[in-house]
Structure 1
Amino acid sequence: MTSSRPLDKFAAGLAFVLGLVTILAALGSQFIGGLQPCELCLEQRLPYYWGLPLLALVLILWNRLPLTVWYVAMAIVAALFAWGAYLGGFHSGVEWGFWPGPTACAGVGTDLSMDMLNDLQPVIGCDVVQFRFLGISLAGYNALISAAVVGLLLMAMAFQFRRRRN
């Protein structure tokens, strides 16, 4: 690693790329691979939808943001992905039967509503694992990846703090 690229921006950029690849893979598994997300799956995508645009903005405005604004934005993104790690861990526990999922995750869609297009969509229970790799479900991988993003963002913040202090 050369000194021309600060470690703080590299760690934040790596967190962004990891998050972007993850959400694109989730969307690809749904729209190309045919996997149907449950309610918890969809909720786990929210940190990506909210956090990645904010992180992209921070990366674009890296040296132009006031330091306080930079730290607040990075903390917000880290908190969003910490929430995502929690959701992934919770969803994994539902899949393993450690605890029940929310009532929206029951997987029974017998009520019809005025939203007929939505009624035609299959309702997948949150305890149904559609794909595992090395014994870990997609929810489990999301928990691990979200935690890695948090770790990278915390590293970026620590590197920034150390760089500013010197």
Structure 2
Amino acid sequence: MARLAPSPRNWAYLLALAVPASLILAVYIAQYGFGLAPCEMCWWQRYPHFAAIGLALGALATRGTRLGVALVWFAVSAIAISGLIGAFHAGVEYGWWEGPTACSSTKLGDDPLAAIMNAPLIRCDTPAWTMFGVSLAGYNFLVSIASATLIAGLLGRHSKGMG
């Protein structure tokens, strides 16, 4: 793969990959390193980031083409969707509105039925961790929406002939 020159479009491509990859890495460190099990809505926020990673890889592989530009726009959309799900989840955690009653567990072990029956319920309306009063869902909202806006701005800047 050829070296990426420092242009707004190339920064957009790189950020479209780096942002969701970093956020997914962070939540897996929180989950497996610090024991913060995800609830159902936490998983909902991960799925668009997984999609964004795949889309951004496709965009990098086809950069310089219309397909590459389209894929990076889809990646931006996926990042923003995850942020919007994070905003909804944070609202549930703050009690601003009601969320789903679904819970999840990730450890099944040798006896799946016993594991399910004894698994702790992971509630969507109780944040597993907060910093400065903001939960992981809130941080996902802030980072994802800000990043999607930045990436879209870089892409828009390029399309106006400034890149």
* RMSD after superposition: 2.2
Task: Quote the Cα distance in structure 2 between the aligned partners of 1:85 and 1:130.
Answer: 18
1:137 equivalent in structure 2: 135
2:27 equivalent in structure 1: 26
The one-letter code of the counterpart of 1:54 is L
Could you tell me which of 98, 120, 123 is aligned with 2:121? 123
Could you tell me which of 70, 73, 76 is aligned with 2:74? 76
1:110 equivalent in structure 2: none
Which structure has more relative contact order (CA 8 Å, sep 6+)? It is 1
**Structure 2 matches for 1:44-63, cutoff 5 A?**
44-63=45-64
The one-letter code of the counterpart of 2:113 is M
Q: Which moved more, 1:4-13 or 1:51-60?
A: 4-13
* 1:77-110 CA-partner distances (Å, limit 9, x unpaired): 12212211110000000000011111215x8xxx
Q: Percent identity?
A: 31
Could you tell me which of 83, 86, 103 is aligned with 1:85? 83
TM-score, length basis structure 1: 0.81
Maintained 8 Å contact 2:52/2:79: yes
Runs of 5+ unmatched residues, structure 2: 105-110
Maintained 8 Å contact 2:48/2:81: yes
Runs of 5+ unmatched residues, structure 1: 108-113
Q: Aligned-pair distance for 1:122?
A: 2.2
Q: Which moved more, 1:54-63 or 1:125-134?
A: 54-63
TM-score, length basis structure 2: 0.82
* Equivalent position SS for 1:104: coil
Task: Quote the Cα distance in structure 2 between the aligned partners of 1:70 and 1:81.
Answer: 17
* 1:37-86 CA-partner distances (Å, limit 9, x unpaired): 100001100011111111122123212x3x2x233222221221221111
Task: Quote the Cα distance in structure 2 between the aligned partners of 1:24 and 1:162.
Answer: 34
* Equivalent position SS for 2:34: coil
The structure 1 segments of at least 4 consecutive aligned residues displaced by more than 6 Å after TM superposition are none
